[in-house]
Structure 1
Amino acid sequence: MASDSENNNSTQPHNSTQSYSLKPIGVVHSCFKEKFAIPRQPALAPAAKGEVEFYPPYNDPMAIEGLEDVSHLWLSFIFHQAMPKDDEVRLRVRPPRLGGNKKIGVFATRATHRPNPLGLSVVKLDGVKNGRLQISGIDLLDGTPIVDIKPYVPYADALPHAINAIASDRPVLSLIEFEPDVLIAVAEHEKRLEQPVKELIEQMLAQDPKPAYQKPDPERIYGVKIWDLDVKWRYQKEGLLTIMSVSLA
């Protein structure tokens, strides 16, 4: 005889319109204050740092017991600045990896515009301070809601023979130069913030954040905010950027 649970499962119809709700367990405080120039994948900028602040009741130390034995974490989060509009459907998107002007199926990409605005990133766990997780190698915007955290399991999560022909190699890195007086300012900001400002700028902008289909314009000055700083740069040519200024925002 079948169990009650089996009977119940077999009689419940599938409801394709059923909705589910997610409640954030915490929030990311990130060095990235705007979407532009955030690395397109985690771990591309190891100097990119942040922390996870937990909301009650998950701010209890019991919730993170055991993480002292873990080096990396999976963060499940919400793309809170890419929420789909009502009834919006995107079957194809333009991933930056393909130049930003070629469409492919949404499920073949990691684009932020998704049927449900959920993201997944693996980050390095540097420690715990005042109940907050100190993380690095992030690709997360400041204020990103976190909905779940799981430990990275190397034997299960690292698949060395996996194939993705769309993104088979790391991006070709650009060369970054600093004006001499900018290096002096950067050193002062590093001391004040106790953060690797120069290293982050190099790692972040070496990925060339402008859309791949855009040609570099030597006359145009680009900018982005990290921590409490405005970073300005100019393209001397394709593959060569010069940092013009780093100042308080």
Structure 2
Amino acid sequence: MPRHYSFIFLHLWILFVFHGNSPGKWQPTVRPPRLGGNRRMGVFATRSGFRPNPIGMSSVVLEGMCRERGQLLLELFGVDILDGTPVLDIKPYLPYADRIAEATGGFATQPPRACLRADFTDAARQALVTIERRYPGFAGLVTYVLGADLRPAYADTTDTIHKYWIES
């Protein structure tokens, strides 16, 4: 359990660069998975990483801090960026200013629910056990994300069970 001091913020905003996106011609519309991938929307009405600028923003939980080899490391939960992602800035989340009680979710009124069962091969299950030792909760997160079935509606989504494996 992290120690929280009165001067430490529990939540932070991370501003980063979408460095893992394939470069290509920018498109003003995208097909969000939340709309089944069949309906086009303006990119600014979505959370798509394919934008005219590569800047992203994510809210995270500050679990703790530690010093390692002369550097201050932040232990974060809920990070939705890749390893090696360039971070532009870190800002405190201020509940009185950053939360808007009357805000609406547009086309995303409810969180997505997991609808598929993820079944792992023995090798994948063992890899998850190993990773889980360092990152508790990782296996649950992977199972949830895979179960959310983010494939667009126009893809063949008749399967209800998917098998995942680790290739060596």
Q: TM-score, normalised by structure 1?
A: 0.54
- Root mean square deviation, CA, Å: 3.0
Equivalent residue, structure 2, for 1:78? 17
Q: 1:84–1:114: 8 Å Cα contact kept in structure 2?
A: no
CA deviations 1:209-235 (Å, max 9, x no partner) are 323331226xxxxxxxxxxxxxxxxx4
Size of the aligned set, in residue pairs, is 160
Shift of 1:110: 1.5
CA distance in 2, matches of 1:67, 1:84: 43
* 1:159 match: 100
Larger radius of gyration: 1
Instruction: Report whether the alignment pairs 1:123 with 2:60.
Output: yes
User: Which digits, 9 at most, give the CA deviation of each residue in 1:72-113, with x for residues without a partner?
Assistant: 11011111133765xx55322222222223212222112111
- Equivalent residue letter for 2:28: L
| Superposition deviation, residue 164 in structure 1 | 2.5
Q: Does 1:109 align with 2:46?
A: yes
Change (3 A) 1:79 1:186: closer
Counterpart mapping for 1:1-249 below 5 A: 69-82=8-21, 88-129=25-66, 130=68, 131-178=72-119, 181=122, 185=126, 188-190=129-131, 193=134, 195-216=136-157, 235=159, 237=160, 241-245=161-165, 247=166, 249=168
State percent identity of aligned pairs: 38
Question: Which amino acid in structure 2 is aligned with residue 199 of structure 1?
Answer: G
Matched AA of 2:126: A
Q: Equivalents in 1 of 2:26, 2:132: separation in Å?
A: 47
Q: Which amino acid aligns with 1:97?
A: R
Q: In 2 relative to 1, CA 188–215 (structure 1 residues): closer, same or farther, beyond 3 Å?
A: same
How far off is 1:244 after superposition?
4.3
Q: Hey, what's the Cα distance between the residues in 1 that align with 2:75 and 2:19?
A: 21
CA apart distance, 1:145:
0.8
TM-score, L = length of structure 2: 0.77
Moved more, 135-144 or 173-182: 173-182
Specify whether residues 151 and 216 from structure 1 end up closer, same or farther in structure 2 by C-alpha distance, changes over 3 A only: same
Check 1:80–1:182 CA distance in 2 against 1; reply closer, same or farther (3 A cut): closer
**How many angstroms apart in 2 are the aligned matches of 1:183 and 1:117?**
33
1:149-186 CA-partner distances (Å, limit 9, x unpaired): 10111122122321122111111222425358468625
Task: Give the match's secondary structure for 2:89.
Answer: strand
1:144 offset after TM fit, Å? Answer: 1.2
